[in-house]
Amino acid sequence: MEPEPDLAWMYRQMLRIREFEERVKATFTEHPGVIRGHTHLADGAEASITGSLAALRLSPGPGDQVMATYRCHGYPLVLGTDPKAMMAEIYGRAAGLCGGYGGSMHLADPDRGFLGTSGIVGQGIPQATGVAYAAQIRGQGQVVLCFFGDGAAKQGAFAEALNVASLWKLPIVYVLENNSYNVVTRVEQEDANAAAGDTCSRWSRVRCLRASTWCRSGRLTCAGPGTT
């Protein structure tokens, strides 16, 4: 039987993500230069992040790992990373999560399975696949969750990664966070399948949760293109 999701916990996590990012956004606009370069917010993705990671929480495995999209603040918040350390990192402080080396776009918390991020759209897909390969070699039952958006799925490496993951039966769940926009371009304009009428269903937190939980319960025999 599918375990019951803790909806109150999930709501709390979504709220924490939004509040955290509202603070980042306010600092970015009110105090130019304090947050250097640029920052990527994830308004509207709170549910897909929380729902997917709730699956890890429901059936935690040994050393499961998560690769984020380039809109990366939400994932470590849900995984339990200290928000103060995250904010200090975004400010480039020595007390930051990565000692000021990473900033907003390169948050990493390996102790909690948060592999790290990049500002490059879709870059994490082949890397997460490599991490899953390492997990398979270690043979300790680790699972990798790889997040990316509908725009990132247009990266050539996406098809290559899914192909090899399926062939080698790697312990990885690819989570496509389809928000219907490739930055500012509608999915119908950037996705051939969507343009042909085969519209990807929009995510919901419960659907994400079920897909991830299902993969977990099958110990990832289902990992492969089209199953998540």
Residues that bind other proteins (CB under 8 A): 36-37, 92-94, 100-103, 105-106
Of the pair 90, 223, the CB lying nearest other proteins is at 90
In angstroms, what is the minimal distance from the CB of 101 to other proteins?
A: 5
Q: How far apart are CA 24 and CA 102, in angstroms?
A: 15
Give the Å distances, CA to CA, from 27 to 7, 45, 80, 126, 130: 30, 21, 23, 33, 36
In angstroms, what is the minimal distance from the CB of 83 to other proteins?
A: 18
Of the pair 36, 219, the CB lying nearest other proteins is at 36
Q: How far apart are CA 208 and CA 138, in angstroms?
A: 27
In angstroms, what is the minimal distance from the CB of 94 to other proteins?
A: 8
Q: Would you say 171 and 215 are in contact if contact means Cβ atoms under 8 Å apart?
A: no
Six token digits for residue 81: 């990373």
Chain-centroid distance, C-alpha 98: 19
Of the pair 118, 199, the CB lying nearest other proteins is at 118
Of the pair 81, 142, the CB lying nearest other proteins is at 81
Six token digits for residue 16: 């924490």
Q: How far apart are CA 153 and CA 51, in angstroms?
A: 20
In angstroms, what is the minimal distance from the CB of 31 to other proteins?
A: 14
In the numeric block, the tokens 């956004």 are attached to: 25
Six token digits for residue 134: 């390492």
Give the Å distances, CA to CA, from 107 to 39, 110, 118, 186: 12, 10, 8, 28
Residues 6+ apart with CB under 8 A from 227: 211, 215
Of the pair 44, 110, the CB lying nearest other proteins is at 110
In angstroms, what is the minimal distance from the CB of 113 to other proteins?
A: 22
Of the pair 106, 210, the CB lying nearest other proteins is at 106
In angstroms, what is the minimal distance from the CB of 95 to other proteins?
A: 11
